[in-house]
């Protein structure tokens, strides 16, 4: 894993935009960064998984995450990416939703008092204590209405029939969040989806004007539905992180049915697999890509619902579609393989001979070159391929010759 957060995020496809050409250099030392989540429902959705994973990697690379629940801004509603105004919620509903969302984020992000421990904050704690006059006098002079009207979050609503004055103030409130977090937590970086670009930029400018603070922003690509629409808590057809709203089996199937062109991107976003392994999974296409989708579905379901739920969803899917993948029993030819042999790279050709799937090295090479060999469910075309510990799946290496012959090595 790269020590520099920017390098890691870039390699995994997380970087859409940055406000600072030298943003990579910021991560040479520990950084405090925040992401905001609006508690407008009692669950987050799959679109929220990108920023949650961003928080995870931020913490893993030695930085400090702040999770800001928008208890105050949810009373207003973010117009970003919306075609109509949000439903107004009560304070009680918002507080309950905030607790549920914090529990979901806590499955991946560690909240504690260590230097990299995440901190949960609610912007209601500072925004609801401000008087309207005080807020207008402090920040009002630093916002240009003409500039705000050019922001996509506002412009889209203006072109679609108009935006209320209530929602127009959302940008001011979020900008004030960044200012407050700089003052209170020395937070210098805001992360968020691409649709938050305008809000992030306005917060950076407010911090510069009032505090001469060198703030920055980084946005993530949005995860969209098949019709190109954005996932959001008020949108139809969402896949939720809550098992009550979207059962684990449906959740698993959503990822199992991902479009071919999305598999690499989703594996980069939503798994911990090294990108070298991701590239190996998707490189061959065909049956290899089909296996990659199963890996994706299993890994993401494990992240959100736990290993037991992921295994049950995978087994149910295999039974439902008539796929037989139980290769762990004694009916499959097998032998032990010392893990130490994989440390320096073990030749595929020699292993095929050892498994009696080919009578000689030359026959094994011809078999591979003819497309007749698979490792797990992925075809292997390179006879010089070396097998390593990264090829082990659930403690086994499964070699297949043709459609019916297979051999299992149990790695010990």
pLDDT in tens, 244-254: 999 999 999 99
- The 3-state secondary structure of 181-217 reads HHHHHCCCEEEEEHHHHHHHHHHHHHHHHHHCCCCEE
b/e per residue, 278-296, with b = 16+ CB within 10 A?
bebbbebeeebbebbbbbb
Do residues 48 and 145 share a domain? yes
The vertex-152 CA angle with 42 and 268, nearest 5°, equals: 60
239: in domain: no
CATH of the domain at 357: 3.10.290.10
Helices (H), 232-324: 248-256, 263-270, 275-283, 286-305, 307-320
CATH of the domain at 299: 1.10.240.10
Whichever domain contains 213, its CATH number is 3.40.50.620
Which of 277, 295, 320 is a domain's end point? Answer: 320
Pick the last residue of a domain from 205, 220, 235. Answer: 220
Q: Using one digit for the tens of pLDDT, what is the confidence trace for 43-72?
A: 999 989 999 999 999 999 999 999 999 888
Q: Are residues 155 and 17 in the same domain?
A: yes
Clarify whether residues 23 and 142 are in a common domain: yes
In this structure, are residues 373 and 405 in contact, taking their beta carbons and an 8 Å threshold? no
The predicted structure's pLDDT at residue 234: 47
Model pLDDT, residue 329: 58
Contacts of range 399-403, beta carbons closer than 8 Å, 24 or more positions apart: 399/351, 399/352, 399/355, 399/357, 399/373, 399/374, 399/375, 400/373, 400/374, 400/375, 401/352, 401/357, 401/358, 401/367, 401/372, 401/373, 402/372
For residues 268 and 135, state if they share a domain.
no
In a domain, 372, yes or no: yes
Give the per-residue pLDDT at 403.
60
Q: Are residues 285 and 364 in the same domain?
A: no
Q: Are 153 and 32 part of one and the same domain?
A: yes
Q: Are residues 276 and 135 in the same domain?
A: no
Q: Let me know if residue 191 belongs to a domain.
A: yes
Q: Which domain holds residue 253?
A: 248-320
Structure tokens at 394: 């659930």
pLDDT at 241: 95
Q: How many whole angstroms separate alpha carbon 354 and alpha carbon 361?
A: 10
Whether residue 389 sits in one domain with residue 300: no
As a whole number of angstroms, the distance between CA 217 and CA 69 comes to 18
Structure tokens at 105: 């984020």
At 2 the pLDDT is 62
Question: Same domain for 27 and 81?
Answer: yes
What is the total count of domains within the chain? 3
345 and 313 housed in the same domain:
no
Structure tokens at 67: 């999770």
Segments in the chain below pLDDT 50: 81-85, 234, 331
Distance CA 262, CA 255 (A): 10
Of 207, 199, 304, which Cα lies nearest the Cα of 246? 304
398 and 272 co-located in one domain: no
Contacts of 20 (CB under 8 A, 6+ apart): 26, 216, 217
pLDDT tens profile 92-117: 888 888 889 989 999 999 999 999 99
| Dist. CA 327–CA 387, nearest whole Å | 19
Same domain, 349 and 254: no
Closest CA to 207 of 187, 226, 223: 187
Measured CA distances, 146 to 150, 308, 372 (Å): 7, 53, 65
Final residue belonging to a domain, choices 320, 350, 374: 320
pLDDT at 340: 86
């Amino acid at each position: 894993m790269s020590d520099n957060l920017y390098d890691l995020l870039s390699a995994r496809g997380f970087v859409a935009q940055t406000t600072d050409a030298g943003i990579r250099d910021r991560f040479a030392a520990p950084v405090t960064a925040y992401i905001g989540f609006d508690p407008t429902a009692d669950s987050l959705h799959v679109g929220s998984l990108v920023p949650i994973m961003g928080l995870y990697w931020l913490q893993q690379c030695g930085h400090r995450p702040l999770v800001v629940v928008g208890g105050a801004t949810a009373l207003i509603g973010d117009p970003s990416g919306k075609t109509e105004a949000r439903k107004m919620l009560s304070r009680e509903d918002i507080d309950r939703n905030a607790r549920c969302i914090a529990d979901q984020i806590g499955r991946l992000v560690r909240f504690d008092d260590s230097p990299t421990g995440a901190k949960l904050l609610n912007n209601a704690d500072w925004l609801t204590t401000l008087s309207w006059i005080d807020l207008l006098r402090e920040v009002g002079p630093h916002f240009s209405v003409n500039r705000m009207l050019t922001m996509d979050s506002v412009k889209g609503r203006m072109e679609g029939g108009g935006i209320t004055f209530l929602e127009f103030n959302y940008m001011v409130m979020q900008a004030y969040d960044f200012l407050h977090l700089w003052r209170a937590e020395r937070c210098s970086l805001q992360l968020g989806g691409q649709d938050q670009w305008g809000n992030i930029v306005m917060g950076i400018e407010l911090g510069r004007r009032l505090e001469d603070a060198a703030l920055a922003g980084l946005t993530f690509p949005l995860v969209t539905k098949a019709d190109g629409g954005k996932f959001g808590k008020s949108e139809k057809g969402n896949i939720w992180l809550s098992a009550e709203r979207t059962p684990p089996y449906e959740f698993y199937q959503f990822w199992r049915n991902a479009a071919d062109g999305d598999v690499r991107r989703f594996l980069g976003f939503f798994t911990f697999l090294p990108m070298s392994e991701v590239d190996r999974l998707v490189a061959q296409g065909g049956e290899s890509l089909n296996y990659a989708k199963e890996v994706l579905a299993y890994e993401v379901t494990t992240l959100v619902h736990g290993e037991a739920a992921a295994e049950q969803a995978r087994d149910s899917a295999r039974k439902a579609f008539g796929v037989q993948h139980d290769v762990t029993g004694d009916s499959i030819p097998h032998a032990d393989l010392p893990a130490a042999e994989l440390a320096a790279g073990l030749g595929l050709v020699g292993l095929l001979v050892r498994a009696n799937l080919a009578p000689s090295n030359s026959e094994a090479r011809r078999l591979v070159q003819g497309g007749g060999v698979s490792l797990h469910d992925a075809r292997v075309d390179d006879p010089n391929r070396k097998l390593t510990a990264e090829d082990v799946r659930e403690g086994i290496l499964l070699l297949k010759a043709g459609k019916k012959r297979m051999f299992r090595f149990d790695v010990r």
